[in-house]
Amino acid sequence: MTDQSYDSITHYLDRFWQQAATAIQQVIHDSELQNYAFMLWASFSFIMLAHLLFQYVVNGTSLGNIIQTVLLIATVRILMNHYDDLTSALWDTSEGISSGIQRVTLGTSDLWFASGFIQDVMGAISSEPISWTSPVKIILATFFLYTSSCFLTIMAFVAATWSLWGYVMAKMIGFFMVPLILFERLSWLFDGWLRLFIGFLLYGILARINVILCVISIQAFFDLPSGQLPTGQSFFFSMEHMSDLIGLFCIMMLSIFALISSGKFVGIIAGGGSGFGQNMREIMHSISHMK
């Protein structure tokens, strides 16, 4: 990957984030879409209040049930009114944690530092000239090394942008999931969306940590100072002694495996969460029956 192509990719991703942020605001603040979401809230609220009134007329109902229903309806409306602020705050928290960890460990919070670091290290590697008459093991070793380095650079880009992509996707649809908390038989849809949203936030943190570990492992291999690109340096590998080359290849493969496994790590953490909608009902029930 050349410096020009690297710069064009980073500029594209920066523009994507700017345009995605604009698209989010357009979706959330569109009057027709807002009316649809608030219509869902009003419909479910009416059904709940009508059911509560029916219970009161037929069997009678306690004051606690009335308070529970009103609190649930009001809480859902508050969540809808402040949906943009709440989700943005969670994203900023996730980014703040991951950027802070990178700043402390690598000395920089630049999102694209890892990709640029890997690219510069691979560009600084040199060896004896290789031709078709070279031994097969040397040709294969060189091929696999540079193939794995290119793939690792791509994975570093993906790790930096996948959480952003997922956050944009989840936030665009999440506003319409919030009213479903009111309807118990549909609240599982909101719970699923919440796990999706939190999962992408956690992925941003865990993937950034894995990228940091990739950089640290390469820095340790080449004995490089932390947080600095290998500008002006050259790393020579002798094909007569393959141990160093094999060691670097193993580091590359371990880094790739770690980045690929980031999603599984998130699944282990986020998969254990219970339903938020049901928990909210239980909280409102506890509040309404406090003495």
First to last CA, the chain: 67
- Count of domains forming the chain: 1
Q: What is the pLDDT of residue 250?
A: 82
Residue 125 and residue 237 in contact, taking contact as beta carbons nearer than 8 Å: yes
Q: What is the pLDDT of residue 263?
A: 82
Quote the domain boundaries for residue 138.
Answer: 3-288
Residue 116 and residue 6 in contact, taking contact as beta carbons nearer than 8 Å: yes
The type of residue at 7 is D
Residue with tokens 């940091």: 212
Q: Could you give the CA distance from residue 54 to residue 57 in angstroms, rounded to a whole number?
A: 5
- Sign of the dihedral defined by the CA atoms of residues 277, 279, 284, 289, in that order: positive
Tell if the pTM clears 0.75, that is, is over it.
yes
Q: What is the pLDDT of residue 237?
A: 62
By DSSP bridging, strand 235-237 and strand 125-127 are: parallel
Q: What is the pLDDT of residue 86?
A: 95
Residue 276 and residue 201 in contact, taking contact as beta carbons nearer than 8 Å: no
Closest CA to 204 of 112, 98, 107: 98
Q: What is the pLDDT of residue 239?
A: 58
Instruction: Give pLDDT < 70 ranges for the chain.
Output: 1-7, 60-62, 126-139, 141-142, 226-244, 271-291
Q: How many CB atoms lie within 10 A of CB 231?
A: 7
Q: How many CB atoms lie within 10 A of CB 67?
A: 16
Give the number of C-alpha atoms closer than 13 A to the C-alpha of residue 104, restricted to the C-beta side.
8
